[in-house]
Amino acid sequence: MSHLTACPCAQQEKLGTSVEGPDTCAVIVAGGSGERFGDPRGKQFVRLCGLPIMAWSILAFDRAPSVGHIVVVCPHGRLDEVRNDVLAGLSLRCDVTLTLAGATRQDSVFSGLVAMPPDFELVAIHDGARPLAEVEAIERCIAAVRADESLAGAILASRETDTLKLTDASGCILATPDRSNYWCAQTPQVFRARTIMAAHKAAVWDDFEGTDDASLVEHRGGRVRVVESPRDNIKITVPEDLTIAEATMARRLERGE
């Protein structure tokens, strides 16, 4: 599927590279049921400032100059809905491939990786329900991997600011860890394509279920760096998250971002 009309916002700076042309494929994972959100449509299809939530994630990566192709992982039975109700309303410069979700998020990401065109060195994996990722942050995350060959990947993350408590099974506090080395993981998570594909295959072989894609790479000994990102790059999980996202997106639109 191809949408070739360029967005006027697409001219951003590609960071830290002499590479000509896009070298990154984005995999947008939007195949979940969103049970905790409580909307039968699925949270990725709920409207946020006039567009489905997943549309904002797609637009962010379409506007990132390092990205040359987008794979959208869709719920079963809803390919036409994504095609007609989400993509048809967007003006995109990138070609888009649709593929079906698996039984778990990890399976869904692997489905997206398999659907990637073979000629991209890097892949940026992103939650379809995380609509507030900024192009500049996406580019910094990609640039971190591109610039350091010793890295297997990099992820956007925000510093932990709350006091942390370690408890036992009954909820009694055992310790108060130093929060200075704790980060809250976000997406996108950017990896060398061959590295993340190998990590996913190894996870199947090892019967290892990671909490995110970085954990699969870490499981194989790969080095993954955090790239600081604003805390407002939230994942919409429960209805109150949508209220926060709407207020943030409305402010950005008022500023013409």
pLDDT single digits (tens) 37-83: 656 667 889 999 999 999 999 999 999 999 999 999 999 999 999 99
Share of the chain above pLDDT 90, in %: 83
Domain ranges of the chain: 24-252
Q: What is the pLDDT of residue 7?
A: 35
Please give the class, per CATH, of domain 24-252. Answer: alpha beta
| Neighbour-count burial of 58, counting CB atoms closer than 10 A to its CB (0-12 exposed, 13-18 middle, 19+ buried) | buried
If you search the block for the tokens 């919409």, which residue do you land on? 236
User: Taking each helix axis from N to C terminus, what angle separates 105-114 and 193-206, rounded to the nearest 10 degrees?
Assistant: 140
C-beta atoms surrounding 30 within 10 Å: 30
pLDDT score of 121 more than 80: yes
- Give the predicted TM-score (pTM) of the model: 0.90
